[in-house]
Structure 1
Amino acid sequence: MTTDLLSKDENVIWHQHSVDKQTRAKAKQQKPAVLWFTGLSGAGKSTVAGALEHALTQMGHHTYLLDGDNVRHGLCRDLGFSQQDRRENIRRVGELAKLMADAGLIVLSAFISPHREERQLVRSLLPEDEFLEVFVDASLAVCESRDPKGLYKKARAGEISNFTGIDSEYEAPLSAEITLATGVDSVEQLVQQCLTELRLRQIIA
């Protein structure tokens, strides 16, 4: 028998560094948080998250934006779009977001993440007051009319399978911390809505 047969959990121990999350956050003069933007493709997740990150950076805050397409160029490039692979994609991003929050950052994650169970998994990785679910609420009709990447057209033509909103379900949040009506309000208004919530939660001054 070799140690390879032992459970990994028995041999992998978290190392507590002398510089902790609180120290890192204090140096950045902010409270760590993960804002998890969820919604249909074309709802405006990346657009609003990007505009919010720009506003926060202009205010002097330390942020990082995790975008669904971008992480598939590296961290998740080995994953496809089966239900199993999509769950693994969200799990990896959740763990990455957790580490970034531990670094004291305000993390903005823009992922369809269609299932409540997946989003709850990410929430469970973080302290209760550090995870904010942001529902980017736009109807399927609105998203399909935008279709910025032409994906709905391909899905309707049968060129893409398991596409959320067409042949794969999207479970809208039941009680998101922030709900953004992207078909109604401007990007500037949505950013201000997010900033107001961050102030109320004392994540930013």
Structure 2
Amino acid sequence: AHLIWMSDEPLLPGRSYMLKIGAKTVNATVTDIKHKINVNTFEHMAGKTLDLNEIAFCNLSLSSDVAFDPYEANRTTGSFILIDRMTNQTVGAGMVWFALRRATNIHWQALDIDRKARADKMGQQPAVLWFTGLSGSGKSTIASLVEKRLHAEGRHTYTLDGDNVRHGLNRDLGFTDADRVENIRRVGEVAKLMSDAGLITLVSFISPFRSERQMARDLMGEGEFIEVFVDTPIEECKKRDPKGLYTKAEAGEIKNFTGIDSPYEAPENPEIRIHNVGRPAEEVADEIVAYLRARGFLSVLGMDGDGI
């Protein structure tokens, strides 16, 4: 589709929006900007994002089928708008050019062993503990301690850490806003697969944008996504600065650094909020494990490892 962007906030491929076409509204993601269009010369230009009043030819992926016609055949059934999921504001308007058939040959394969069977065997309920906070806030330290405690109890866990994932799965991504969105989209999908496997998954990422954290939450089952906001003031993070990143960012050696020249959108209603100043990390980890136990994520394990 051709898309005209109408918001001061840029279009970020991979971010989930709402698409309204006719009387139907579905979730939609711009998966690829094929090219931008210079409105004066009609020249095709490369681009990863769209700014206010820019036009591009894009691929879009929708959460369900919609009825439409190409815009050139019917302007009413061939046009749509994009809506920001967080603000409900219209951010874009589009004209359908043609359908992509690539998804019609892909079907979900039903499996005989489902998530409940896997989780019951492990004696636990799947959960995704999503640790978010500024660099240096203590996310990875706390997540590691929580996993150690769960592992000592015989729980089945896995930790996805921001730096570690960028060495493999996301090694092709930088730190622009668009790359950060794609970074979290991929991690959210991996966390979903691990949840289907029955694991308690610990995700430790700055994940600066509310929209992408909400997208990850929407992928999980009801009550399965636990947002852990490690709320450490930036002044304290700068004092710790274990990797020297804030010093480099303030010197201009690192661009798009969260908290310096890239924004961090703090969670508004996290399941767990950790004020991580002057508290031992071990105490915080115990608090998180107690939260899981109180809400039934940790069943009693028998001697053979089966849940009872």
After TM superposition, is the score higher than 0.5?
yes
Q: Tell me the distance in 2 between the aligned counterparts of 1:184 and 1:204.
A: 29
Task: Tell me the residue number matched to 1:46.
Answer: 140
Q: Tell me the distance in 1 between the aligned counterparts of 2:236 and 2:108.
A: 46
Task: Tell me the residue number matched to 1:146.
Answer: 240
Q: Are 1:57 and 2:151 matched, yes or no?
A: yes
> Secondary structure in 2 aligned to 1:152?
helix
Task: Tell me the residue number matched to 2:66.
Answer: none
Task: Tell me the residue number matched to 2:216.
Answer: 122
The residue type paired with residue 112 of structure 1 is I
Q: Tell me the distance in 1 between the aligned counterparts of 2:278 and 2:265.
A: 21
> Secondary structure in 2 aligned to 1:65?
strand
Task: Tell me the residue number matched to 2:298.
Answer: 204
Task: Tell me the residue number matched to 1:166.
Answer: 260
> Secondary structure in 2 aligned to 1:128?
coil
Q: Tell me the distance in 1 between the aligned counterparts of 2:138 and 2:108.
A: 37
Q: Are 1:102 and 2:196 matched, yes or no?
A: yes
Deviations 1:121-144 (A, max 9, x none): 000001121100000010000000
Alignment RMSD: 1.0
Give 1:184 shift.
2.9
Q: Tell me the distance in 2 between the aligned counterparts of 1:23 and 1:128.
A: 17
Deviations 1:61-93 (A, max 9, x none): 000000000001110011111111110000000
> Secondary structure in 1 aligned to 2:160?
strand
> Secondary structure in 1 aligned to 2:247?
helix
Q: Relative to total residues, which structure has the larger helix share, 1 or 2?
A: 1
Q: Are 1:18 and 2:89 matched, yes or no?
A: no
Give 1:190 shift.
0.3
Give 1:185 shift.
1.6
Moved more, 189-198 or 94-103: 189-198
Structure 1: runs of 5 or more not aligned: none
Q: Tell me the distance in 1 between the aligned counterparts of 2:121 and 2:192.
A: 18
The residue type paired with residue 102 of structure 1 is D
Larger radius of gyration: 2
The higher relative CO (CA closer than 8 Å, separation ≥ 6) is in: 1
> Secondary structure in 1 aligned to 2:103?
helix
Give 1:196 shift.
1.4
The residue type paired with residue 174 of structure 2 is G
The residue type paired with residue 52 of structure 1 is V
Q: Tell me the distance in 2 between the aligned counterparts of 1:128 and 1:184.
A: 34
Q: Tell me the distance in 2 between the aligned counterparts of 1:195 and 1:169.
A: 30
Task: Tell me the residue number matched to 1:184.
Answer: 278
Task: Tell me the residue number matched to 2:250.
Answer: 156
User: Identity of aligned pairs, percent?
Assistant: 56
> Secondary structure in 2 aligned to 1:192?
helix
Give 1:6 shift.
4.2
The residue type paired with residue 230 of structure 2 is V
Q: Tell me the distance in 2 between the aligned counterparts of 1:68 and 1:120.
A: 18
Q: Which runs of 4+ in 1 moved over 6 A?
A: none
Structure 2: runs of 5 or more not aligned: 1-98, 300-308
Q: Tell me the distance in 2 between the aligned counterparts of 1:149 and 1:50.
A: 18
Give 1:181 shift.
1.6
Query: May I ask how many residue pairs the two structures share in their alignment?
Result: 201
> Secondary structure in 2 aligned to 1:108?
strand
Q: Tell me the distance in 2 between the aligned counterparts of 1:121 and 1:57.
A: 28
Task: Tell me the residue number matched to 1:89.
Answer: 183
